[in-house]
Each structure stands twice: as structure tokens, then as C-alpha cells.
Amino acid sequence: MVKKILIALIIFSLVVAAFPIASNDLAERNNKKVQLTVDMDEVRRLAVAEGTSVKELLQEFQGMGVSAVAIREANLSRYRLEGKVSFMTGYDLLASYYIHGSLQKDLLGLIERQSIDPYKVYLFSTDRELVQKLENIIQIKLDPPMERFSGEEFDILEMSLATVGKDINDMASLRAGVMPEDLEVARELGLAVVPRPDNKYIQTPEGVEFVLEELLSLPGANIFIFEGEEATGFPNHLSLAAQKIQEHGLPMGVIEYVPRQEGQIAVALESKVPTVLTHSTVLSQDPQAIFNGVRQRRVRLVYLRFSHPITDELFEPERARSLIKGVTEELDRYGYESGVAEPIPSSERGRKFFALILVGVAAAIALLAERLLSLKDRSTAIVFAFSYLVLLVPLATISRDSALQYLAILTGITFPSLAVISQQLRNIPKEIKRPVLLAAKTITLTTLISIAGGTLVLALLSNPFFVGGLSLYRGVKILHTAPLIFIGIWALAAVVYRQERWTLKAVVTSIRKLWKEPVVSGGLVGLLLLLGAAYLYLGRTGHDMGLPVPQLEVQLRLLLDEVLLVRPRFKEFLVGYPLTWTGLYLLYRGHRSALTAGLLTAGAIAQVSLVNTFSHFSSPFVTSLIRTINGFLLGSLIGLLIILALVIAEKIYLHSGLAASLQEKKEQ
């Protein structure tokens, strides 16, 4: 009776989970505008390479589907390149004078008065207003000792950069305000603007205010993305940055996959501005792969980059055009349109809501304990009550979002363990006549339980902090390994070392027996193969994959996405499900060996990967469900083919006379 109640409680939690999941999916489905954004600095370089104007090239890109341009402050190198200012060290000024014997009159006057210091930096321009502007910016960002001279033609700034630990190279990279001509081009073409505030050289509150006010108030700005590895204001002025961001109310672009910028999460949480998940084409230049971010991961801003991320080598103009065209065609093909992006809305949910979800998690823990320990109803009910109280502790005592991540990991460990142990490793029947049909039923039930767990994980992570892509899912490697270790131990106990009831004494006796077994070369080879497989498995898991993805696999992924709409995970259809089918077939044929236990343990990878699929909280539920179904069907097809091959091989073996010959030798 208690087991039925626990199952009903899981169903209740699934019903509760359906509301935020359906709401988030519906909001994603109704938001079809994708903002194709190009980088102004790269467009300018492309225009120079092609011998055209920035406006003409941007206008062409706009006609191809581009709807926004990313703009950052110009650095002083650009000011110098465009002939607006010059700057050099005092040493270079003196060297130029002594070599050429001549110098501009205002600079010559400084030399004649012996006012040039070889160790200082001098900036000069005929545009006195520009010098005044740059003086203010340099003062705010670098704050070096400065003196300004006004000559007949030039205004000159003398700076002692060494006193603040900077040099002329820092001066060259210093960002000093947005170029008016950049804004004018965007305004004339009606392009949205994506400001890129940075944090370089910003040491003071005044610097934070200046940069954010300068960029977030740009005409046409609709989404901003922090530049570099730090949020503006990091580390000491994040609250001020959050206040300025909140005042302007612009959504924050969050670039998927890459590590979050230092301070970005803190600023986003404090400012409470909505986020827009962004895909930078630095990660991939394939239009289909880029579009998969839109269709499968709620990306609504595609940042088209036209230079190599490491070498900064600029693309050929035709390659840039091909990239824009390819992405636009993919958008049109699936009913999306290029335009000005808006954040996908997602409602905040309180702790009481998540407490209802945890009812189902506690019920799963109790069912797992009942399966493992053969508990009676009363003991199972006590485990449920105790588990539920323990689950509520982090939800009530630490930050909600941190608690939800920990609880999602626990849920992701519990359900695949429950699915495999309760369906595959409990009440194992003796050899039966129709092992394939029973295996099909068992695998289907196992998968349904894992889907239930994945659904609860997704519901726990249904808040804007997760759905908006601000957080990366933590504990991926734990989620992928803990259930397998747990299931592996139980598979050995249930399949190889069969006992009606495991006690502590029985466990110790089995371990001692195993320890005394002689080590053979085959066992060592098997152990090495197991360690190698574990390295590959863990190396290809998580956000910081230790192993590269082969190009052949990349192409196969794209092909599967094209054919199946959403590609299944390789771990599921090539490894997990085929091994599960094979292991269950052998088990139901009466093969109770370490090989069978190993196959079922490795096959559990499918269930672990399935739950992890739903842990990708920026993916719509329907996308994860389609991915899961595709993996189940394709993996089952491969598993059935393996079983067919085993059946054929067995028949050939029996009819070849080899079996009879071996039996005769054995009897002799």
C-alpha cells in the first residue's frame, strides 16, 4: 500500500512540475525573433579589406538579415590610426628630434624649455575638445599624474604612466569613448545597438559610472554584453554597476557554453534585469550548428564573428557573407525571423512550489531504499518522511538557486538508480522463453522512470536564473558517475553474488572471497580496458571536456540533427541502450555472470545521460523529450540487431557440431 502511495506522490509532483515547464516552453515557442548581430570593429576591418565604406557593407549585411551591430568604446590605437591623435614616449620624441633635427613647433618649444621627460608619455592633437575628452577619460580610468599644455596648434597631455604601473602599450589599448560615426551609421540604417562595456583599467566608482552611462544610454541600444572576462565594476564596485544597469533596464546578453564573466552573475542577480541567451559564432561557423542553439537552447541573439578567436585573423569577405546567408536560411527554414530580440519571459517561483516538487524526490528515495533493503511498509514510510525533511533543509537554509542545483543533482542520481535497480535488478526471473519481449517491457519501464526524474530535475531548474542561461549546470561529472558506481555494486550483488537478503556479514564474506581470488592476466587487461573506458567517458562529459570531439563525430551530429530534428546522445543510442538490451537478453537466458552485470551497469549510462539531457535547463522540455525518444528508438534498434546476431551465432554454433564435440570432451 505504501509503495502505491509513493508512486502516487511522484505522479503528483510530475503534475505540479508540468505547470512551469509548459509555461516556459510556450513562452519560447511564441518568441520567434532572433537578433543577428555583427561586430562593428570587424565590419570596419572587412570594409577596409574590400575597399568599401562601413555603411555600404553594413547595409548589405542588413539586407541579408543582420538586425544589430555590437559597439564598444574605441581604443586610442584607433584614434591614432585615424589621425585624430598621436602619442609617444618622451624618449621617442627626443630621438625623433635629434635624428631629424626638426619637430612640430609646440613640441619643439617643450624641448627647448627642457620640459620633455624621456620616461613620460605625450598625447597631442589639434582637436582641443577631443584632448579635453581624452584627458577626462584617462583621469577616470588610469588616474596618472598629468599636465596639459596648450600650444598654437596642439593641445598636449603629459602623463607619468609608470607611477600607476602602466606604459605606452596600456595607453594604446585604453578604450576612450564611443566613436560618433559608429553610432551615426547604426542610426541611419535603423540597426539595433548592442553595447559592449568592459572593465579594463577601471579602478574607481567614477570609472564604472562613466563606462556604463556612456554605453547603456547609446541610442538604439536594446541588449548589452560585457566585454572581456570581467563584468564592469568587478571586483569592488559590482553593486554600483548593478544599480546603473537597473536604472537603464537593458537586458543582459549571456554567451552560452563559455565560463561566466567574473562578477556577471552577481550583477545580474542584484540588478534583476532579464537575460538573453547568446550564441557566439566563435564556437562554430556551421550555420546548422549555430541555428541549433536557437531551436534547441532558447538562443535569441546570434553574435556573428568574422575573425579567428586566437589569431584574430580576419575572414575573407565572401566567407562572412556565406555565414550570414547560411544562418538566415536556417532561420527561415524553421519559421524564425531576424529582428530585434526580446528576452523569453520566465516566472519566478518560490520555495513552497519547489517543496511540492521535492515530495516526488523523497518518494523516489524511499522506493529505492525499499528495493535495496527489502523494507516493510512502515519503515518505507519513515524513510520517506525523513528524506523529505532532509531535502527541505537546504531549501530553507541556503540561497534558493544554490539549493535547487544541489537538489537537482540528488534527483538526477536517485531516479536512474531507482529505474535500473527496480526494473532490471530486482526479482530477476529464471530462464524464460521470450527474453526479448520481457527485455522490451523492462527497458521501457526503466526509461519512463528516468524521464520522470528528468522532468522533476527540469522543474527544479525552471526559474529565470537557470532558464535564462545565467547559470551553468554544476555537478555533471558526479551525476554521470555516482549512479553507475551504485548500480555496478548492486548488479554484482544481484546477478553474480545472488542472495535473498544482504546483511553486513554477507557483504564482508563476499568481499573477503573476492579478495582471495587469484589475479589473472585477463583480469588485469579487463581492468585496464575499464579504466580506459572510464577516462573516455569522463573526458567527454561536462562543460570542460578533457577530450576533443573528432570532426567525423561533429559531422555525424549535424546529420542526425538534420534527419531526426533533434539528435540523440551518442552515449545513449550507441552505448547505453544496446548494452542494456544485450545484458537483459543474457540475463533472461540464465547467464548470471560478471559479464552480464557489467553490461547492465554500462547500459545504465543511457538512463544517466537521459536525466542529464533534461538538466540542460535552457533547452525546452519538448526538445529534451524528442532527443530521449530518438535515443531510445535508435538504441533499441541497434540492441535488437545485436541480439539477432547473437541468436544467429548461437544457431550456427549448435548446428556446426562444435557444441557436441566440446560436450563430449567435457564428459570424457
* φ, ψ dihedrals at 347, nearest 5°: -85, 145
**Cell representation of residue 460:** 527544479
> What's the start-to-end Cα distance of the chain, in Å?
56
* pLDDT value at residue 541: 64
* pLDDT value at residue 276: 94
Region for residue 475 given its phi and psi (left: phi exceeds 0; alpha: psi -120 to 50; beta: otherwise):
left
Sheet harboring 86-89: ordered strands across? 86-89, 121-125, 155-159, 146-150
* pLDDT value at residue 517: 60
Q: Diameter of the chain by CA atoms?
A: 116
CB of 401 within 8 A of CB of 462?
no
> Is the backbone peptide bond immediately before 274 cis, with ω within 30 degrees of 0?
no
- Classify strands 155-159 and 121-125 as parallel, antiparallel or unpaired: antiparallel
DSSP label at residue 224: B
Q: Which among 391, 369, 393, 392 has a CA at the least distance from the CA of 381?
A: 369
CB of 176 within 8 A of CB of 76?
yes
**Cell representation of residue 427:** 526479482
* pLDDT value at residue 663: 58
* pLDDT value at residue 330: 92
Q: Tell me the whole-structure pTM to 2 decimals.
A: 0.85
* pLDDT value at residue 108: 64
Please report the sign of the dihedral spanned by the C-alpha atoms of residue 207, residue 54, residue 45, residue 195: positive
* pLDDT value at residue 110: 67
- Classify strands 121-125 and 86-89 as parallel, antiparallel or unpaired: antiparallel
Contacts of 55 (CB under 8 A, 6+ apart): 185, 188, 189
- CA distance linking residue 105 with residue 153, whole number of Å: 8
**Cell representation of residue 64:** 541579408
Mean pLDDT in runs of 10 for the chain (668 residues)? 92 95 92 95 93 94 96 93 88 75 65 76 89 90 86 85 86 90 95 94 88 94 94 93 94 86 91 93 81 90 88 87 93 91 89 94 95 88 95 92 92 95 85 86 96 96 88 80 90 76 63 62 54 58 58 76 85 93 92 88 93 89 94 95 90 68 57
* pLDDT value at residue 204: 85
Region for residue 568 given its phi and psi (left: phi exceeds 0; alpha: psi -120 to 50; beta: otherwise):
beta
Q: What is the pLDDT of residues 526-540, one digit of tens each?
A: 555 655 665 565 555
* pLDDT value at residue 374: 82
Three-class SS state of 105: helix
Cα angle 459, 460, 461 (rounded to 5 degrees) comes to: 90
